[in-house]
Structure 1
Amino acid sequence: MSKKIKLLATAGYLPATVVTNDDLSQIMETSDEWIVAHTGIKTRRYALGENTSDLATKVGKELLAKANLAATDIDLIIVATITPDALTPSTAAIVQANLKAQNAFAYDLSAACAGFIFALATAEKFLQAGTYRRALVIAAETNSKMMDFTDRTSAVFFGDGAGGALLEASDAGSSVYLAEKLVTQGNKEVIHSGRIAPLSAIAATNYPKTDAFYQDGRAVYQFVTTTVIAHIKDFLAQNNLKPSDLAMVITHQANLRLIEAIATALDLPLSKFAQDVVEAGNTSSAGIPLALAKAHAAGLHGKVLLCGFGAGLAYGSILLDL
């Protein structure tokens, strides 16, 4: 007998420091007019003095409080991130310790801006197996620490933040989780971050170095406006739905111009699309759960499409019934 997946709570957290387009124009060759015209983004948040685990921990605490649960009630914690505190230990392990969730196993998942989609789909499988009952699924990013601030084509997009959901498996009632489709098209060049080169020689001067975030903006736009849009249309058709059947579409908050392009392709008004990106910037994997938490708190109900896409190239969709 399949389990019914319940959405017990959603939550989001944005750091306190607001960074405007004018602020960025003081440290790079750009302007508010250029950024708004190309991205629709007006502000973003930077986590000064906070790392990814700090943001994720705050979301975890809020999820537990909203669901009126103790940390010991959690069986699984997945943190989706491409900006971890470290390569090891996992950011999720730090969050598990911070929350004192000693009954939970925890690990990170890396699928870039599709991370929350992949993490949510993974958690659902653990809960369906019947071995585990409750899962915290958190996406958290401190993108600012990975930026090259001489690269205005990338740096102006990104902000920091975290969001998440608390899921529970049940034998009764209806399930919030209706369908999913996950896809990967291996490509290491269009978007990459944190590359570590192999050794070229044995020397005392060797020391690990990573590269900054990079994206080919034109290639990303082409990928989203062709491949991702076709994926959304096919996914809805496979589930016998039309775009107009959806109460809301929550895509990766890449930039407002891409969200507008998706809305046009689906023949839906922009009002049906979450638009957290204008004030929060592109928060990578955290964008979807941040927008979901905001809409959920405002009383969102009905069928909701979540769609993430990013480096990998990884993309996927989940259909929820709230």
Structure 2
Amino acid sequence: MPGSKILASAHYVPSDVVTNADLAKIMDTSDAWIRTHTGIETRHISLQGENTSDLATQAARLALAQADMAPEAIDLIIVTTFTPDGLAPSTAALVQRNLKAKNAWAYDIMTACAGFVFGLSTADKFIRSGVYKNVLVIAAEVNSKMMDFSDRTSTVFFGDGAGAVVMTADMQRSVVAGEKMNTVGNADVVHSGRIAPLTKLSPDNYPKTDAFSQRGHEVFDEVTNLIPHHIRTFLLSKDMKPSDVDYFIPHQANLRLIEYIANELNEPMSKFSTNIIYNGNTSSAGIAIGLDELRNSVNLSGKSVLLTGFGAGFTYGSILLKF
């Protein structure tokens, strides 16, 4: 039975950079407030007409080039996003078309900011089945298109971006050493893109979606109450302690939240891969971008890396990688 390995990774962000000062020009906020409360200094925003499938395609092309692999060699494309181009066709199908990956089938996973962790887990299972050899996992978000730019409590956090990995079969071992996924149904704390059902038949009815909204303090409380305990419990099931992990890549929700988790685990921030300072919260893409940056900055051979995602749903989970 084959295992899986990560053959290549890449990431892509839009060229337009939006600073805190830029946001302060259009809403009641300031650079000092945003830095103090979130740690964010800049974010990339898609202002050139790039949609989620475009960002995903760019990241995928870069990853395929790193792997020296033709699109035709891909068997399956998984895109994790909660800002898709639309409900149908799937964003993954659009990426398959863009890449001309004619031998791949494709679909989306929507578990919000935990998406990339769920995508890696899913790809690993398909490869372990022995039916599929090469899988492209992409996390891509254009959060900006779902924002209410008069709502400073949400909008200042978010940026746009995409990260991708090429996973392939390995007959010797698997990079995935364990995982634990959870869902706690709570639709009110964070929501985006809700479409109300009809209440009457009328010729002027058409779908209307709502903007992204979150109850920031409740989100913070939910994460701080659940995630450190989740990480410790999961690692304990693997006969590990947080100190046994070489690197952590958590969801890039808020730098202060990452600092809190590090403190609760009694681990230094130097072990935490962060990109939120210059990318903002890129939802599911943040962990994918972090993994690519980590792979490019250190030699991961023999190292363990814990990816922990948490997002709207409330859905959260961890996947342990051993390189």
Q: TM-score, normalized by length of structure 2?
A: 0.98
* Deviation of 1:254 (Å): 0.2
1:281 matches 2:280:
yes
Q: What is the match of residue 109 of structure 1?
A: 109
CA–CA separation in structure 1 for the residues paired with 2:306 and 2:240: 11
2-structure distance, mates of 1:310, 1:64:
28
Distance 2:312 2:299 in 1: 29
Per-residue CA deviation, residues 263-313 of structure 1 (Å, 9 max, x unaligned), is: 000000111101100000000000000011001011241000000000010
**1:227 maps to which residue?**
226
| TM-superposition CA deviations, 1:163-200 (whole Å, max 9, x none) | 011100122x3321110101011111000000000001
Q: How big is the alpha-carbon RMSD for the aligned residues of Structure 1 and Structure 2?
A: 0.7
1:50-100 CA distance string (max 9 Å, x none): 000000001111111101110010000000001111110000000000000
Aligned residue in 2 for 1:63: 63
Partner of 2:200: 201
Q: Are the counterparts in 1 of residues 190 and 214 from structure 2 also a CA contact under 8 Å?
A: yes
Q: Is the 8 A contact 2:2 2:173 kept in 1?
A: no
Aligned residue number for residue 137 of structure 1: 137
How do residues 250-289 of structure 1 correspond to structure 2 at under 5 angstroms? 250-289=249-288
Matches within 5 A, 1:1-322: 2-48=1-47, 49-171=49-171, 173-301=172-300, 302-322=303-323
What is the distance in 2 between the residues matched to 1:313 and 1:300? 34
In structure 2, C-alpha distance between the alignment counterparts of 1:272 and 1:125, rounded to whole Å: 28
Distance in 2, Cα, partners of 1:191 & 1:253: 16
CA contact (8 A) 2:114 2:251 kept: yes
> CA separation in 2, counterparts of 1:270 and 1:12?
23
| Distance in 2 of aligned mates of 1:239 and 1:262 | 20
**Which runs of 5 or more structure 1 residues have no equivalent in the other structure?**
none
Cα drift, residue 244 of structure 1: 1.1
> TM-score, structure 1 length as denominator?
0.98
Partner Cα distance (2:205, 2:180) in 1: 43
Residue 318 of structure 1 aligns with an amino acid whose one-letter code is I
Alignment check: 8 A CA contact 2:76 2:104 kept: yes
Describe the SS at the equivalent of 1:82.
Answer: coil
Give distance in 2, aligned partners of 1:174 and 1:201. 57
Q: Which amino acid aligns with 2:259?
A: E
Q: Could you list the runs of 5+ residues in structure 2 that have no partner in the other structure?
A: none
- Partner Cα separation in structure 1 for residue 87 and residue 299 of structure 2: 37
Equivalenced residues, count: 320
- Whether the aligned pair in 1 keeps the contact of 2:3 and 2:124 (CA below 8 Å) is no
CA distance in 1, matches of 2:140, 2:12: 9
Partner SS state of residue 108, structure 1 = strand
Helix, strand or coil at the partner of 1:284: coil
Which consecutive aligned stretches of 4+ in structure 1 deviate over 3 angstroms post-superposition?
none
